[in-house]
Amino acid sequence: METYQDIIVETANFITTITLNRPARLNAWTPLMADEVSHAIHAAGKSPATRCIVITGAGRGFCAGADMGRLQVRAESDGQGAHRTGNETDVGFPGAPGPDVAKYYPGRFGYLCACPKPIIAAINGACAGVGLVLALFADLRFAGDSAKFTTAFAARGLIAEHGVAALLPRLIGEAQALDLLLTARRFTGAEAAELRLVNKSLPDDKLMDHVYAVARTLANDVSPLSVAVIKRQVRAAHEQSFAESLAAADAEMDRSFNSFDFKEGVRSFVERRPPAFKGA
């Protein structure tokens, strides 16, 4: 089993949980954490033991943004050097089903879009700056009602990093995105749900129960092959014309008719029993 320093990784019942594990610093983001999360997502994305990935934070925070000690060093430097956290990573998942979306989502967090497994962000507390960016790259987001959000960038003299200027308006609309980005104001999980930034906000003590209920559905009740293709279809469609998206769907549909999961999906329905999908 891989050993990590800034995260904890656990896999059970086809669900891999990645817990950001610097609770004393509200799981503030470090280059090491960036590399470890990337490694864990790539490993889970390629593992037959994983059908769904959950990302959450230890203690009272999800991720409070970049480690301020490191930002202070950066602010007092001469401004030279790369601004990225961690090393650049291979965003591709060679051989994964569905359209290749790596070319559409380069950069630090693009691999989250390319990963063929669905990724859920369970936002259990402070979610700021790069922590919010991480959550935006997940496929589903659920938050505790009292979780505190902020884009933070403008309040630190920074800009909308890592593609958030494209992702946030796509999720909540340009006017609302500009409000959150320009003011860097704080808002709760409950407001995040109203803005549709998260799928749902729940009482804090109900958050993880709900997240794992959704994760179990993704891991057991639907085809892993279908999920992988659909996720990539949706991600790719943002960069395609309708005709291109339709042509890709037609090609994927033809392939799905030959899959075990299609045959099992039909058989299980006819036989009135739970499906036993294989992801093939």
Give me the phi and psi of 258, to 5 degrees please: -95, 5
Record the tokens describing residue 9, joined without a space: 């990784």
Q: What is the pLDDT of residue 223?
A: 95
Q: What is the pLDDT of residue 1?
A: 61
Q: What is the pLDDT of residue 69?
A: 60
Is 77 a residue whose pLDDT tops 90?
no
Q: What is the pLDDT of residue 280?
A: 85
Is 141 a residue whose pLDDT tops 50?
yes
Mean pLDDT on 244-261: 93
First to last CA, the chain: 26
Q: What is the pLDDT of residue 273?
A: 92
Q: What pTM was computed for the model?
A: 0.90
Is 89 a residue whose pLDDT tops 90?
no
Record the tokens describing residue 13, joined without a space: 């019942």
Q: Crossing angle for the helix pair 130-137 and 164-172, nearest 10 degrees?
A: 60
pLDDT in tens, 263-272: 999 999 999 9
pLDDT in tens, 23-61: 999 999 999 999 999 999 999 999 999 999 999 999 999
Position 80 confidence tier, pLDDT thresholds 50, 70, 90 = very low
pLDDT in tens, 191-200: 999 999 999 9
Give me the phi and psi of 41, to 5 degrees please: -65, -45
Is 81 a residue whose pLDDT tops 70?
no
